[in-house]
Amino acid sequence: MNPATSAGASTPLIELRGVTKVYGTGSAEMMALRGVDLCIHEGEFVAVMGPSGSGKSTCMNILGCLDVPTAGSYLFQGVEVGRLTHNQRALLRRHYLGFVFQGYNLLNRTSALENVELPLIYRHTPPAARHQLAHRALNQVGLTGWEHHTPGELSGGQQQRVAIARAIVTEPVVLLADEPTGNLDSARSMEIMEMLTSFNRDLGITIVMVTHEPDMAAYAKRIVHFRDGLIETDRMHKEAA
């Protein structure tokens, strides 16, 4: 059975239909995606793998509404994202998606608490509620007591925990993680992956994670492998199946 259909007959949370992405024109034209079909259901934990230039990052940018397909369709909860306006796509990102990056992307002169509050500011959440939600998110990632430390006063693993707290503070439907352990040692990487696994299992957050590392991909329930702009393999992980 195709993993895309194994979660049941319900409408996929995420669906790509024949998605292509072309950059440049003429002799400089480069096709990053060559007709990708992909379904992800609510509650899945999917690792996306592939060599550099395989199309995995382009796919993630489209899923995160940071880019749009050249052709084909991207549906989120059954809604055609390509038909949304720029502002509507921004609202989709703000209210449904959380992002975690390899480089943390924290504001250096801003405390951990204030970094976590940023998405709530964009949502116009009142200050008192903002503080409460940010404290809760930092507690969820094991950083109670570190609220007023700046990134420069935190280790790499702690900085990534702040970044994860910022991503989950809005209670997203989907967490998109791009090489979340790429800058961490093995022990810290395992801590981060255990944390993501618990959010998927206990909070029901759907996770789509790009990684080059098979050991990290092994935490996912499903592994999608890109090559040359196409999905080469799509399989349930044997230990999670």
Dihedral sign, Cα of residue 191, residue 193, residue 194, residue 196:
positive
Q: Determine the Cα–Cα distance for residues 238 and 214; give it in Å rounded to an integer.
A: 13
May I ask the CATH class of domain 3-236? Answer: alpha beta
The structural domains of the chain, with segments of one domain joined by +, span: 3-236
Q: How far is CA 96 from CA 5, 44, 175, in A?
A: 23, 15, 9
CA distance 157 to 151: 11
For the chain (241 residues), the mean pLDDT of every run of 10, in chain order, is: 47 96 89 96 96 93 93 95 91 93 89 96 93 96 95 94 95 95 91 95 96 94 96 80 42
229: left (phi over 0), alpha (psi -120 to 50) or beta: left
